[in-house]
């Protein structure tokens, strides 16, 4: 968790106006990886709004996360092509093996699991991305190999 | 003011500059349905009900956000708009507990049950406190067919009952935003807002925390402005809509805020802000506390004068004479203890009393911890022979050292049993008197409710004792200066009023950080009674509770019940036994939350204890009447679904061919389907809204196939059994029974409260019942007797989160 000076440094760049709220939160997420209750408290103080109000803005956008992401992020594509090629099974297999639900992070902080709409790799369906690397036509056997490789 | 003209539905109307189309229509007396629009709040355009067609404007704009303009031509009720509104309401209803809307018996049922059931959770209009004043219902009734072609999105997860004073059920929320717009208007920065979006959107503080942990001050104004039953006053909601609003003053802290008291049938049932303006902000104590304190069972109501060693109820004259004689004849030290919480007239009067009789005078701040050490030590040394105390400032020990004690108080206290005279007081809203306003000037407090029984203001007693004291030396000071307003910050809420811990009267205040009285802490630590081995919420408001009762479990037979009390102060109420095991020594009950006692039971958890279980009681079902190989139809509605289980099991063991038909308002209220299917030859499922099984109820089953059975048993609410009696085969040779559930006290035939009329004869349901011939019961009388204590039942509702109330 950052101390308040980190937030101050980020917030100083912005005039305390409501229209700067989202970009300020984007900067904080960039620095910390997620939006913490402390960040909400500092930002609402800076912009002179209530915490509920700040949270309302942040929680509206899917881009903001509220828990610290894992060391690795697995994004499973649930676009049309991947869906048809069984990405649902892929996702539930991942959920089962990792013991977490989509949108969560393993308790050891190693892996976060996400669902995305389309990776634009329809020809490779079902596809998933681990950190920056794309895996196509993933099978359950391959999945186990990929998971083993994460350290 | 500039005015201009526009045409709405062919009528030329006049509007003022700055008005919206909706406001212009309203001004002209034309109705456009709307929910999120509010005269005092900024336009929002959320509910989409006020859509209109305007020439030259594309689509169907919302009239609440469209400024009216010169020459506009507006249509408010075309076929397309009607369809659009109906669809919008259907979408609202798909997440709403709506079975009552879809039910074909709605009108009949609502005549029978003129007030909603006091259930913990609003699973339908009939169990929703907001039914009498619901705006959604009002709008929907006018724009709705009974059929909803959308899936049910009801979820038990959307119910929050952990915050003080306010129950939240997001199933009922239509995201109109009135609550947070109200909050923003009064407190500038809204403590609540809409978190998340889409299906997950809900009114919330940050991270879905409890509101009490956040910026919310619990002024409860959002509750007043909520058009549905989403936000409700946990305790006061069951009174329904007030008869009148009386402008008065809250005297519970020195800020003396002006507010509106809600009055119904002469009772104060709640409070609200004078107007939706920042300067009229009130605190949790004003909003929720007043009604809970005024109607508290801790209040005292009888004047008492000691004769010999006994306190006996006395007249006003006797009490006054006694006070006079005690002060006049006392040779020893005299003391008058006053409180700054009291009315100006009272404080002046107490000074005059002390002066007249040469007594010492002490005046405490209302929120003071205790008397000053010097006065206390004088009392303990027996230096005072005669003491008059206003409020709860003397411990039992201190009181016992005083020879002649006069106690003026509004509630019970430990000192009272030592008193020669006890004077019951009227308080907030029950007295027409004066306090110091925020500006230091006298502020009149209007009486909103006639004080009950002997209750009077202290100055009325004093007037009679010492005559006119209006000229007495007393200078009004403004107290608000040394007392930060709790309307601005809940940390400023006072702990005490007239020496009483306020949390004793409104226990939810503990969650806002107020102190607990030593007495309340003591009750909490007591451990007696029957241990709960298992507790499940089967469906919202319905619980199965399994308790350890080895002695009683040996004697249970199908169809019996027992009297349960959650704690020592609970009411005695009968509950049906659904299962038991003599060897393992347990009994299982079905409990439906319908009022205080059942809510208290419903709030218990595994490992908790039930104070009283007396049973098994009642005459079991006579299994002799069901011959092996014959056919039986068991009908269960609501709690009756659980109640028929043990009977069905016993009949199966006897070789009776049993069909069970169960009825619930909607799919999410059905339970025991598997259990019943295992013991019945056939299971028929009915829901009032048709979301599972077939649409309708048990009476429809009876009408269709009742004649095919040798015997019939119906168990459910009075309305359900009455309907069954109407459609049952009119054949006296068949065994046709129902199980009655009138008000009971002892359950052993002594009190007579449970009397029912069966075929013109009076029977006691507790010993001769609960089973009686279905065709012979006078259900109308039963329904009437069951509602005899309607208002008192509301007053008794738990004042505490989870209903574990000791007040």
- Its pTM stands at 0.84
| Chain B touched by A34 (CB under 8 Å) | no
Q: Is the pLDDT of residue B744 over 90?
A: no
Q: Which residues of B touch A (CB under 8 A)?
A: 180, 189-197, 204-207, 214-215
Tell me which residue of B232, B235, B91 sits closest to B167, measured CA to CA. Answer: B232
Tell me which residue of B296, B253, B276, B234 sits closest to B489, measured CA to CA. Answer: B253
Mean pLDDT of B622-641: 89
Higher pLDDT, B482 or A126: A126
CATH topology of domain B156-294: Alpha-Beta Plaits (3.30.70)
Q: Is the pLDDT of residue A1 over 80?
A: no
Tell me which residue of B211, B208, B185, B193 sits closest to A56, measured CA to CA. Answer: B193
Confidence category of residue B691, pLDDT binned at 50, 70, 90: confident
Tell me which residue of B488, B469, B479 sits closest to B442, measured CA to CA. Answer: B479
Model-level ipTM above the cut of 0.85: no
Residue B622 has a CB neighbour count (10 Å cut-off) of 12
| Chain B touched by A38 (CB under 8 Å) | no
Strand partners, B247: B260
Q: Which of A48, A50, A59 sits opposite B195 (nearest CB)?
A: A59
User: At which residue do the structure tokens 């019939």 appear?
Assistant: B712
The pLDDT assigned to A103 comes to: 84
Q: Which of B189, B197, B206 sits opposite A55 (nearest CB)?
A: B206
Show the DSSP H helices in B246-362 as ranges: 284, 290-294, 316-329, 344-357
Q: Is B761 exposed, middle or buried (0-12, 13-18, 19+ CB in 10 A)?
A: exposed
Q: CATH for A4-60, among 1.20.1630, 1.10.10, 2.60.410, 3.30.360?
A: 1.10.10
Q: Is the pLDDT of residue B537 over 70?
A: yes
Check the CA dihedral B527-B533-B536-B542 and report its sign: negative
Residue of A nearest to B210 (CA): A52
The pLDDT assigned to B805 comes to: 46
**What would the pLDDT profile of B210-224 be if each residue is shown by its tens digit?**
898 778 999 999 999
- How many A/B residue pairs have CB atoms within 8 Å? 45
- Pairing mode, if any, of strands B761-764 and B694-695? unpaired
Tokens at B491, concatenated: 């940390």
The domains spanning B304-482 and B623-791 adopt the same CATH topology: yes
Using N-to-C axis directions, what is the helix angle for B79-94 and B135-142, rounded to 10°?
Answer: 140
A48/B189 touch (CB, cutoff 8 Å), yes or no: yes
Q: Is the pLDDT of residue A120 over 90?
A: no
- Measured between beta carbons, the chain B residues lying within 8 angstroms of A59 are 195-197
CA distance A135 to chain B (A): 31
Confidence category of residue B664, pLDDT binned at 50, 70, 90: very high
Q: Which of B189, B197, B207 sits opposite A55 (nearest CB)?
A: B207
Mean pLDDT of B389-395: 94
- Measured between beta carbons, the chain B residues lying within 8 angstroms of A40 are 206-207
User: At which residue do the structure tokens 């009002």 appear?
Assistant: B138
Mean pLDDT of B83-93: 90
**What would the pLDDT profile of A54-63 be if each residue is shown by its tens digit?**
999 999 998 8
The pLDDT assigned to B195 comes to: 93
C-alpha to C-alpha distance for B630 and B521, rounded to whole angstroms? 58
Confidence category of residue B202, pLDDT binned at 50, 70, 90: very high
Per the CB < 8 A criterion, the answer to whether B48 and B88 are in contact is: yes
Instruction: Give the E-state strand segments of B17-127 in sequence order.
Output: 53-54, 73-75
Q: Is the pLDDT of residue B804 over 60?
A: no
Q: Choose from A50, A61, A102 for mutation: most chain B CBs within 10 A.
A: A50
Q: Is the pLDDT of residue B647 over 80?
A: yes
DSSP letter for B411, please.
B
Residue of B nearest to A45 (CA): B189
CA distance B244 to chain A (A): 34
Q: Is the pLDDT of residue A2 over 60?
A: no
| Phi, psi for residue B640 in degrees, rounded to 5 | -65, -25
Supply the mean pLDDT for chain B.
Answer: 89
A53/B189 touch (CB, cutoff 8 Å), yes or no: yes
B189/A49 touch (CB, cutoff 8 Å), yes or no: yes
Residue of B nearest to A53 (CA): B193
Q: What is the CA radius of gyration of chain A?
A: 18
**What would the pLDDT profile of B122-169 be if each residue is shown by its tens digit?**
999 999 999 988 999 888 887 666 777 888 888 888 888 889 999 999
| Domain segments of chain B as ranges | 1-36+50-77, 82-151, 156-294, 304-482, 524-617, 623-791
Strand partners, B734: none
Q: Is the pLDDT of residue B526 over 70?
A: no
Tokens at A130, concatenated: 């681990």
Higher pLDDT, B66 or B477: B66
B195/A40 touch (CB, cutoff 8 Å), yes or no: no
| Chain B touched by A51 (CB under 8 Å) | yes
C-alpha to C-alpha distance for B727 and B27, rounded to whole angstroms? 51
| Domain segments of chain A as ranges | 4-60, 72-149
A52/B206 touch (CB, cutoff 8 Å), yes or no: yes
C-alpha to C-alpha distance for B540 and B545, rounded to whole angstroms? 14
Using N-to-C axis directions, what is the helix angle for A37-47 and A4-12, rounded to 10°?
Answer: 40
User: At which residue do the structure tokens 């909103």 appear?
Assistant: B448
- Measured between beta carbons, the chain A residues lying within 8 angstroms of B191 are 50, 52
CA distance A37 to chain B (A): 8
Of all residues in chain A, what percent carry a pLDDT higher than 90? 54
CATH topology of domain B304-482: Rossmann fold (3.40.50)
Rounded alpha-carbon distances, angstroms, from residue B223 to B234, B260, B272: 10, 15, 10
CA distance B201 to chain A (A): 9
Tell me which residue of B148, B45, B65, B39 sits closest to B100, measured CA to CA. Answer: B148
**What would the pLDDT profile of B110-123 be if each residue is shown by its tens digit?**
888 888 888 888 99
The pLDDT assigned to A104 comes to: 86
Report whether the peptide linkage leading into residue B616 is cis, meaning its omega lies within 30 degrees of zero: yes
Q: Of the ranges B250-259, B544-553, B673-682, B725-734, which one carries the lowest mean pLDDT score?
A: B725-734
Residue of B nearest to A48 (CA): B189
Residue of A nearest to B190 (CA): A50
**What would the pLDDT profile of B466-508 be if each residue is shown by its tens digit?**
888 776 667 777 665 667 888 888 888 999 999 999 999 998 9
| Chain B touched by A55 (CB under 8 Å) | yes
Confidence category of residue B527, pLDDT binned at 50, 70, 90: low
Q: Is the pLDDT of residue B790 over 70?
A: yes
The pLDDT assigned to B472 comes to: 60
Q: Is B361 exposed, middle or buried (0-12, 13-18, 19+ CB in 10 A)?
A: middle
Rounded alpha-carbon distances, angstroms, from residue B526 to B396, B519, B709, B806: 21, 12, 52, 12
Report the SS3 class of residue A57.
helix
- Measured between beta carbons, the chain A residues lying within 8 angstroms of B190 are 50, 52-53
Of all residues in chain B, what percent carry a pLDDT higher than 70? 97
CATH code for the structural domain at B623-791: 3.40.50.80
Domain A72-149 in CATH 3.30.450.260:
no
CA distance B73 to chain A (A): 36
- Pairing mode, if any, of strands B657-664 and B682-687? parallel
Residue of B nearest to A54 (CA): B206
Per the CB < 8 A criterion, the answer to whether B421 and B407 are in contact is: yes
Max intra-chain CA distance, chain B: 93
Instruction: Give the E-state strand segments of chain A in sequence order.
Output: 72-77, 111-116, 128-130, 133-135
Tell me which residue of B724, B756, B751, B752 sits closest to B741, measured CA to CA. Answer: B756
B193/A66 touch (CB, cutoff 8 Å), yes or no: no
- Pairing mode, if any, of strands B304-307 and B421-424? antiparallel
Domain B524-617 in CATH 1.10.260.40:
no
Q: Of the ranges A18-27, B267-276, B424-433, B599-608, which one carries the lowest mean pLDDT score?
A: B599-608
The pLDDT assigned to B759 comes to: 86
Q: Which of B195, B214, B215 sits opposite A56 (nearest CB)?
A: B195
The pLDDT assigned to A3 comes to: 67
Q: Is the pLDDT of residue B523 over 70?
A: no
| Phi, psi for residue A73 in degrees, rounded to 5 | -120, 125
CATH topology of domain B1-36+50-77: Ubiquitin-like (UB roll) (3.10.20)
C-alpha to C-alpha distance for B778 and B780, rounded to whole angstroms? 6
B189/A50 touch (CB, cutoff 8 Å), yes or no: yes
Report whether the peptide linkage leading into residue B590 is cis, meaning its omega lies within 30 degrees of zero: no
- Measured between beta carbons, the chain A residues lying within 8 angstroms of B195 are 52, 55-56, 59
Per the CB < 8 A criterion, the answer to whether B128 and B229 are in contact is: yes
Of all residues in chain B, what percent carry a pLDDT higher than 90? 52
- Pairing mode, if any, of strands B360-364 and B333-339? parallel
Q: Is the pLDDT of residue B806 over 50?
A: no
The pLDDT assigned to B801 comes to: 67
Tokens at B492, concatenated: 């400023």
C-alpha to C-alpha distance for B656 and B660, rounded to whole angstroms? 12
C-alpha to C-alpha distance for B123 and A48, rounded to whole angstroms? 40
B308: left (phi over 0), alpha (psi -120 to 50) or beta: left
């Amino acid at each position: 968790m950052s101390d308040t000076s980190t937030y101050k440094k980020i917030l100083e760049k912005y005039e305390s106006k409501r229209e700067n709220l989202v970009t300020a939160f984007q900067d904080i997420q960039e620095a910390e990886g997620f939006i913490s209750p402390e960040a909400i408290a500092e930002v609402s103080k800076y912009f002179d709004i209530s915490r509920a109000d700040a949270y309302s803005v942040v929680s509206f956008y899917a881009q903001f996360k509220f828990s610290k992401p894992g060391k690795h992020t697995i994004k499973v594509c649930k676009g049309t092509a991947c869906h048809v090629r069984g990405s649902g099974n892929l996702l539930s297999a991942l959920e089962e093996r990792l013991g977490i639900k989509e949108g969560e992070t393993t308790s050891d902080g190693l892996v976060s699991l996400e669902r995305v709409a389309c990776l634009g790799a329809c020809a490779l369906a079902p596809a998933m991305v681990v950190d920056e690397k794309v895996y196509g036509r993933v099978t359950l056997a391959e999945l186990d190999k990929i998971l083993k490789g994460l350290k | 003011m500039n005015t201009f003209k526009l045409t709405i539905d062919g009528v030329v109307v006049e509007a003022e500059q700055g008005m919206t189309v909706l406001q212009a229509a309203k001004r002209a007396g034309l109705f456009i349905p709307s929910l999120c629009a509010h005269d005092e709040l900024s336009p929002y355009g959320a509910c989409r009900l006020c859509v209109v067609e305007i020439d030259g404007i594309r689509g169907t704009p919302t009239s609440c956000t469209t400024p009216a303009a010169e020459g506009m031509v507006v249509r408010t009720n075309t076929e397309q708009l009607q369809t659009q509104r109906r669809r919008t309401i259907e979408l609202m209803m798909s997440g709403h507990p709506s079975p009552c809307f879809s039910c074909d018996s709605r009108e009949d049922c609502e005549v029978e049950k003129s007030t909603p059931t006091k259930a913990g959770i609003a699973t339908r209009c009939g169990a929703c406190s907001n039914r009498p004043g619901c705006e959604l219902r009002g709008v929907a009734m006018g724009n709705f067919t009974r059929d909803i072609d959308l899936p049910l999105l009801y979820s038990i997860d959307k119910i929050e009952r952990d915050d003080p004073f306010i129950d939240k059920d997001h199933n009922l929320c239509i995201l109109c935003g009135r609550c947070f717009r109200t909050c923003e208007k009064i407190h500038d920065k809204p403590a609540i807002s809409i978190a998340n979006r889409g299906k997950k959107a809900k009114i919330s503080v940050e991270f879905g925390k409890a509101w009490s942990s956040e910026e919310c001050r619990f002024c409860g104004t959002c509750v007043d402005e909520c058009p549905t039953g989403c936000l409700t006053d946990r305790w006061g909601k069951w009174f329904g809509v007030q008869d009148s609003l009386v402008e008065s003053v809250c005297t519970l802290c020195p800020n003396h805020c002006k507010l509106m008291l809600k009055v119904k049938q002469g009772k104060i049932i709640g409070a609200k802000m004078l107007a939706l303006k920042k300067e009229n902000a009130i605190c949790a104590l004003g909003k929720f506390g007043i009604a809970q304190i005024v109607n508290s069972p801790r209040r005292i109501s009888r004047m008492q004068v000691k004769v010999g060693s006994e306190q006996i109820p006395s007249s006003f004259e006797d009490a006054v004479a006694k006070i006079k004689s005690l002060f006049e004849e006392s040779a020893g030290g005299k003391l008058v203890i006053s409180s700054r919480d009291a009315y100006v007239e009272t404080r002046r009067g107490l000074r005059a009393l002390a002066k007249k009789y040469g007594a010492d005078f002490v005046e405490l701040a209302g929120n003071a911890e205790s008397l000053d050490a010097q006065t206390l030590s004088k009392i303990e040394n027996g230096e005072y022979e005669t003491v008059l105390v206003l409020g709860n400032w003397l411990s039992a020990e201190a009181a016992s050292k005083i020879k002649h004690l006069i106690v003026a108080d509004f509630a019970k206290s430990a000192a009272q049993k030592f008193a020669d005279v006890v004077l019951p007081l009227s308080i907030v809203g029950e007295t027409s008197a004066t306090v110091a306003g925020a500006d230091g000037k006298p502020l009149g407090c209007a009486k909103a409710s006639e004080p009950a029984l002997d209750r009077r203001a202290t100055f009325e007693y004093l007037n009679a004792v010492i005559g006119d004291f209006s000229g007495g030396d007393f200078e009004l000071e403004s107290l608000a200066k040394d007392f930060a307003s709790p309307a601005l910050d809940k940390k400023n809420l006072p702990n005490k009023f007239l020496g009483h811990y306020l949390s004793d009267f409104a226990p939810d205040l503990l969650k806002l950080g107020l102190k607990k009285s030593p007495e309340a802490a003591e009750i909490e630590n007591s451990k007696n009674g029957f241990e709960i081995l298992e507790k499940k919420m089967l469906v919202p408001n319905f619980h199965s509770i399994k308790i350890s009762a080895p002695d009683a479990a040996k004697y249970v037979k199908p169809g019996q019940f027992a009297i349960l009390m959650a704690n020592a102060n609970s009411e005695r109420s009968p509950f049906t036994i659904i299962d038991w095991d003599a060897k393992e020594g347990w009994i299982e009950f079905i409990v439906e939350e319908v009022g205080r006692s059942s809510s208290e039971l419903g709030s218990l958890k595994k490992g908790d204890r039930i104070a009283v279980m007396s049973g098994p009681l009642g005459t079991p079902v006579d299994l002799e009447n069901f011959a092996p190989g014959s056919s039986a139809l068991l009908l269960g509605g609501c709690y009756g679904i659980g109640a028929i289980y043990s009977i069905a099991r016993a009949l199966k063991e006897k070789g009776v061919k049993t069909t069970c038909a169960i009825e619930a308002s909607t799919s999410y209220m059905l339970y025991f389907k598997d259990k019943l299917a295992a013991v019945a030859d056939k299971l028929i499922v009915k829901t009032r809204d048709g979301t599972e099984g077939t649409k309708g109820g048990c009476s429809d089953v009876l009408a269709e196939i009742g004649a095919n059975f040798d015997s019939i048993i119906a168990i459910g609410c009075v309305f359900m059994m009455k309907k069954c009696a109407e459609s049952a085969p009119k054949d006296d040779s068949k065994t046709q029974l129902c199980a009655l559930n009138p008000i009971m006290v002892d359950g052993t035939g002594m009190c007579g409260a449970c009397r029912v009329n069966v075929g013109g004869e009076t029977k006691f349901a507790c010993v001769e019942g609960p089973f009686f011939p279905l065709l012979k019961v006078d259900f109308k009388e039963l329904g009437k007797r069951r509602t005899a204590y309607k208002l008192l039942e509301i007053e008794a509702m738990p004042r505490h989160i989870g209903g574990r109330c000791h007040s």
